[in-house]
Structure 1
Amino acid sequence: MDISEAVASRRSIRAFLDKPVDRAVLTRVLKKAQRAPSGGNTQPWHGVVLTGEPLSRLIARIAEDLPKGRAAHGPEYHIYPPELDGAYETRRRGVGEDMYGALEIPREDKLARLSWFARNFQAFGAPVLMLVHTPKYMGPPQWSDIGMWLQTVMLLLREEGLDSCPQEAWAVYSKQIREVVAIPEDHTFFCGLAIGWGDRGAAVNRFPVARAPLEEAVRWEGWD
């Protein structure tokens, strides 16, 4: 698979096959991903890779607090800016509606939507979940570095035939995660990355995900 194929075929997978992932493959991917760029070569990313009983224990702990709703949430940062609006908010809401449309869950069926949303905290059935964290003093440039590292990881996973789903949703349960996984106290918990063999036939993995036209993102100057 070349880079263009990996980019084109990568998407946030929300249904995985019940099939284990070889640790040697993940080690190969993560070693290669250490070549990702970072300002001053700081390499500010840290990950904990869970599978088996540790992953099951985490999922069970979060399940205890799911019925509490927002009262149990405690993210260490704003997942979306409170002032998010315009095209950015339209895109965020749009992809959600497209997903629920593919699942044939109407807007008025709140219970079904909540039940589906809860699958976030089962890693969508993935056999592997990587939890990502970084020292609290790191700023926006270093968080950008972590994003470049994650993209590198996700594209290398595609090269291996694997799929993934970056999940900032896990951040709302930072406190509960820290109860069962050793995240340093002086680090910010950032996100999860579900990893496995995607069920590419599942409707939730097949709906078109809209992208803004290039003209909305890039302006050209000095070109004929």
Structure 2
Amino acid sequence: MDVFEALATRRSLRGFRPDPVPRASLERILAAAARAPSGSNIQPWKVRVTQGAEKARLSAEVRAAHDAGATVKRDYEYYPTHWREPYLARRRKVGWGLYQLAGVARGDAAAGHAQRARNFDFFGAPVGLFFTIDRDLNQGSWLDYGMFLQSIMLAARGLGLDSCAQAAWCDHHDVVRRVLGLADDQALVCGMSLGFADPDEPTNRLETERAPLADFVTFGPEA
């Protein structure tokens, strides 16, 4: 598919088939994404791929921590400290849209807990990716990292794969570090599920809205 189709069809899916992803496909995706721009070409990204028995062990240990209510301070603040409009309304809309498709009723804490726990099973995907960055790098490198992540997700679409970038893993980065052997000088940016979409998963029908250009673009004079 061309880049515009990849952009239009990239979605954060929460249901994958167990079909394996060939190693050659993973290498092709990551090599293509490594062409993402970075200031002075420093390429600040590091990727840890997990599959099979190791991935299953990681899922089991993080799910246990999740069920016990254990979390740790994230390596960085992903969301705003104080929510305000229009961001709060957007967050609520996508959150409740997802929960409705998942069959989670408002106020059902147990169902919400179980739905969130699906993050830690990679939503059934056969491949888990974890992304880290040197702690001493600054905001510009984090901006570069976002372009790298987007490049991975678009390259995956080019091979008929889907993905879901997941900040939820950051609540348990201590377990992720221990199981995957990540160095302490690396901040965990996020995890990602990667695989083939499950067409029978209800939450995969979620359609997220985008603001019109008029809401965020200002064109100056053309002449």
Scaled to the shorter chain, the TM-score interval is over 0.9
1:67 aligned to 2:96? no
Matches within 5 A, 1:84-163: 84-163=83-162
Give CA-to-partner distance per residue, 1:146-165, whole Å, 9 cap, x none: 11011111101000001100
1:2 aligned to 2:9? no
User: What is the rounded CA distance, in whole Å, between the counterparts of 2:84 and 2:175 in structure 1?
Assistant: 30
CA contact under 8 A between 1:74 and 1:175: conserved in structure 2?
no
CA contact under 8 A between 2:102 and 2:115: conserved in structure 1?
no
Q: Report the AA paired with residue 43 of structure 1.
A: Q
Task: Describe the SS at the equivalent of 2:106.
Answer: coil
Sequence identity (%): 39
Name 1:54's counterpart in structure 2.
54
Q: Report the AA paired with residue 129 of structure 1.
A: G
Task: Describe the SS at the equivalent of 1:184.
Answer: coil
CA contact under 8 A between 1:164 and 1:196: conserved in structure 2?
yes
- Output the TM-score relative to the length of structure 2: 0.96
Q: Report the AA paired with residue 173 of structure 2.
A: S
Cα distance, 1:78 vs. partner?
Answer: 1.2
Cα distance, 1:121 vs. partner?
Answer: 1.0
1:16 aligned to 2:16? yes
Unaligned 5+ runs, structure 1: none
Give CA-to-partner distance per residue, 1:163-182, whole Å, 9 cap, x none: 10000111110111111112
Name 2:205's counterpart in structure 1.
206
CA contact under 8 A between 1:10 and 1:154: conserved in structure 2?
yes
- Pair 210,25 (structure 1): closer, same or farther in 2 beyond 3 Å: same
CA contact under 8 A between 1:33 and 1:156: conserved in structure 2?
yes
CA RMSD across the alignment: 1.3
Query: 4+ residue stretches of structure 1 with deviation over 2 A?
Result: 71-74
Unaligned 5+ runs, structure 2: none
User: May I ask how many residue pairs the two structures share in their alignment?
Assistant: 223
Name 1:42's counterpart in structure 2.
42
